[in-house]
Structure 1
Amino acid sequence: MELNRKENKARPGGVKYTITLEQKGKWMELISKACRYDFYHSWTYHSLDNSKGKVLMFVYEEGPDFIAIPLIKRSIPDAEYYDMSSVYGYSGPVSNQEFEDLSPGFTGRFKNAFLDFLREEKVVTIFSRLNPFFNQTLLLEPFGGLVANGKVVVFDLGLSIEVQRQNYHGGVLRKIRKLREKGYYVKEGGTDEDIKNFVSIYTSNMLRVDASETYYFDEPYFKTLLRADEFDARLLFVYDKDDYPVCGAVVVHTNGIMQAHLLGTRTAWLADSPAKLLTEEITIMGRKLGAKYYNLGGGLGFKEDSLFLWKTNFSSLTFEYQTWRFVADPETYNALLLQQEIDPHTEVDFFPLYRLQAHKV
């Protein structure tokens, strides 16, 4: 299948094009050339997206150098326009060079090419979650729309497990020792039966916290994720003394970064907090895999809530988490807000605002 290439005639030598999910080989080849990428950028992860939009990756290229952004193009209800979003997780742009090493001329031409692309595609807004481990804000600052969304809690796996334990707070070490004394242990899984067990644990967890439908996943989702070749995804369980799986997590290791993707605990075992033991065991496994960091994530909505504080009992190291909320077509954006009688200056933390009512349904 031919790439949808368009010569950027205003800037000789520059080429802009898109890669779709149908071009699996091209997608995988390009991402593999990025100097930094996470599993959230992979073809496999994007193929699992259920947002009912068209998945694509915009690419701007000059010779061997490129900048690419994977996005999902969605129709705006009752309008002839579109908007773009990122997958769930830490995505954003990638490049074959560090962002700080890209020349101002190259990034400026990328910006012009990308703005041209948005106009051609009738895109009103872009919402993209950014990766806290990559310096993507350097590239996106000239566009505007960067929003600080809080922090994620991170383990530095360059520290020894002994030093890590010295940094625990809130009785975490004592609790982990007590769990081991009670007979709890951690074991990796991967069979169809293991996946079924994890779906049960995870789904009941989501029902308990009244999560939105976007946080629910079926067995085929996990089978695809855990058996992918583009990254190292693993399923781990905490078993009680009766060898019953009471807590589980899917973690993914890519290029030195381990992400806590999804985690759940059976309600009847919450009081024992087996997730504490699981968390420590994952860091031990991460060291063996050569990971540099293990990202525990933030609080709900990346607020500094009880979940965030629970995580900071393990590590005081935090990274800034940001989103990119770019209005490409301000005139149409304001018209859409006016149409729905939404105050553009509202304090509601939601973007784009014209999707707010649909989000509440």
Structure 2
Amino acid sequence: MYIYYFYSRRFVSEFKVKMRPLNESDFVDAYDVPRDESLARVEIALLGAIFVTATILNTALLLLLWRQRKQMSRMRVFVFHLCLADLVVAFFQVCPQLMWDITDRFVGPDLVCRLVKYLQVLGMFSSTYMIVVMTVDRYQAICNPMVKFQRARSRLNVPVCVAWGVSLVGSLPQVFIFSQVEVAPGVFDCWADFIQPWGLQTYITWTTLVIFILPVSTVVVCQVRICRAIQTNLSRKTHRQGVSVGAPLPARASGAAGMSKARVKTLKMTVVIVLVYVMCWAPFFTVQLWSAWDANAPKETAIFTILMLLASLNSCANPCIYLLFCGEFPKRLVKLLRPPALSAAIIRRANQGWMAVNEMWTESPSDVGLKGDFT
């Protein structure tokens, strides 16, 4: 199967068996259980494609942001660290799973086993909570703009530090749950040791709660309040225009509902990032809970496995979303990645395509003076 508590698919169907035997008769008879080689090849192909794509996109965007580090806006800081989190997912979550699928057994000592399991969940935590603090920052910018402005300098990196701190601490249980276990005479694997019969269910439920349900709930609350604030602001703006036609609008009212074009685009980007995150990870956590609580769950089916693998697509989608909403960065990315033999005509077509897609998210023609990048 997939990562975290059932990194090897054999572990899923046998987690109820005692994990630390006292004699040979107590060993988990997993070594002789054949795996579906066709499904394994599909897993390897998908994971390989996800790893390469996520690594290239996030590394390229990270380099572009780093080159402009002297002009880092708040939003760029969040995107920069989101790229770092997605690279953690690529190198320490997708890559180990890819190698594990190739070898069918974890190859490495106990220390490496615990470290890999820790870094796997660290990637999940960091990517998730970076999205949370990004959304909370947008909430502060729109609903409490004066408070945010007054504390902008001192709080610039505090949300990022909080996200990484929660991730580092929240991943610690992995170190104590997983270890190198002898699953058959002379055969070792990186497996978990749960208290039976409720340990596994508690672990999966808790992981789903802190990595998916609570973060998504926080994001939804922030987005709902943002929508209400925009609606209220729009109503007041319409009322003022009706009472005093021709009265000058506030300086901030360069876009819809009194928000600048840059802020509107930032809000849209945040919403899309959240929606894509939910679409990628909701099936994953659903099948995780299903496999933990239902002993008869179809854990070995292709659909069950693919749904878990596709969750890592979120790390490929995040840089694409940022490029979609940013005007100049797609051009710079093409210049950074293009081979020397690529013609100028192809470059122009690629740039035109990005510009056409970007125009779909542009506000009214009155919103001028602000370029593609935003704060």
Interval of TM-score (by shorter of Structure 1 and Structure 2)? under 0.3
Higher relative contact order (CA 8 A, sep 6+): 2
Normalised by the size of structure 2, how large is the TM-score?
0.21
Normalised by the size of structure 1, how large is the TM-score?
0.21
Of Structure 1 and Structure 2, the greater helix share is in 2
Q: Bigger radius of gyration, 1 or 2? A: 2
